[in-house]
Structure 1
Amino acid sequence: MSFTVLHSAVVEPEHRFEWWRDLISQDVAPTRITTDHAKDFPATAGMAQLGAVQLTTMSFPAIRSERTPALIRYSDPEDYQLTLILGTEMWISQARNEARMAAGDLVLWSTSLPFDGRGLAGSHNGISKAIILHLPRTGLPLPTAKVDHLLANAVPGRTGIAGILARHLLGVAEEASHLEGPAAAQVGIATWELATAFLGHWADARDRVPPESRDRMRLARIDAFIDANLSDPHLTPAGIAAYHHLSVRTLHWLFRDREQTVSATIRRRRLRRCCAELTAARYAAQPIHTIAARWGFTNAAAFSRIFRTEYGITPGEFRSTAGGGRL
């Protein structure tokens, strides 16, 4: 898989808008796009195929984007477009709904129904940015009527399931250029299942979400909780299970296909945080035991022993060689 972000600067200023408009119409869906910035249109577009799903990234100045009945008859990929807004505010109207979206919001729209959308001038230097996940309508295991009810409704992507999905999309977009072959397909499957779980939750159709998707969703929540609480020395499988209303047995069952147990996962992530700070200039004056304690290792001797078992050298040796490329 190749992922390349194209910039309108590759063509002459007077042709940039036409170039970007045609690129988006081919990649997303035929759309009538107009702008007051046609004389010079600084914009980008990137596309990544992840198995059955496609990811598009884009940035652009203020525009108006319309998908008309005539354009739908001409060509319709029959996709839902799940979009994460990153730049200035945007507005969309579809299926008798309308929404004004700010950076961090998620919104769903369909290529099979007319819509009117605007990228608004404002903050972020007037540049709209978005990550679009293309989801084939026929593949979603959710009632079409319930999903269509969600169109043109903004959902804040900061907490809960929406927050997990938003962070996932940001991560996929950032690493897309490094994904090849089977890895790209696997990431596509995980992205599809996470998006399905999010839409099922949002549409109150969780009973239609496949069990494996629900398990992946629970794991994503647990991973986010672990990362947010690594500094707590009392972070344990029992505490994690209690917080998520699970039995400890169920928690371990969710980790059954992973290389590491719950406890090993916590330990490895804490060690990685310690390694990062042991080699960071801003922490050069801090004692090793202070850094260790900040990430949940309250016993200095135990930390040194765990570190050496994991990496083959002591924390002091690691620090003195700045990692030495050995980990």
Structure 2
Amino acid sequence: MDSGSGTSVSASQLARLSAGAAGAAAAGLIYSTVIERNAFALRHVVAPLLEAGSSPLRVLHISDIHMTPHQHLKQAWISELDSLEPDLVVNTGDNLAHPSAVPAVVQALGGLLSRPGLFVFGSNDYFGPKPKNPFKYFKKDHKRTHGEPLPWQDLRAAFTERGWLDATHAIREIEVAGVRIAAAGVDDPHIERDRYESVAGRPNPLAQLRLGLTHSPEPRVLDAFADDGYDLVMAGHTHGGQLCVPGYGAIVTNCHIDRSRVKGLSQWGADMALHVSAGLGTSPYAPARFSCRPEATLLTLTPVAGGGDDADVDLRLPSLQSVPV
């Protein structure tokens, strides 16, 4: 084959190029579905969010477990998190991916359920996963489709019986490690179950940490928490983008926040922090992660330097690292 310009590609060269591309694609598929999907990591964050004079508070943030009964590696990894001895556990939903997964979730959380905990649920606690067109995720307002109902009532009962507090449309006040916390949460905004008016209003001014919980970090909910004076909102749902491009990051967020906030700690408005977990699981119908390891986060909250209502909080450069447990 001669192009007339001095360059040509023979049939054998074209075949080798095609074979190379196919091999690279296969290697990427194996890496994302077998290796990285199971390369669980613990993210460490240090953030000055407590009132001056408060004791440091260690908060373990877990989200998007998407458990099925036979995911024994994930179950074993989660069970080791109790050795971190967090002061508080926050679970922001999507624990289930199978109707028989409640015992696996409860067993995996194990000792963590004996520690102080707060939780809200996500859509995949209420409804099972189902196959979807992946291109729908590029349209933020695509029509939602639900799978079979999941036994969320059993999961809620297991959590509350062990002492965790359901923050769904509720205001909870607890004291943990000497820190007084005013917490409130909403049901999943991703499927429009949020009713912020049920918790609206400024939290207790005597609290040293004002904490908001939501599964999906939708801006309308984040704005409401910020307007009411919350210090920190914790969310999940995004999977950190799940399939990311090295050097570029997440392609989609699956909600209305921008890509820069798809995981980790950021600032929302003038005075509120947002922490989005990249989560520990995936849908069984999209069991792949690329350049976005599954993770839990241990946040060490410290007093704001200087103290006072006018103290500056800069969250643009938090102390951050990701390491395997």
Question: What is the TM-score with the length of structure 2 in the denominator?
Answer: 0.22
Say which structure is richer in helix: 1
> Relative contact order (C-alpha < 8 Å, sep 6+): which is higher?
2
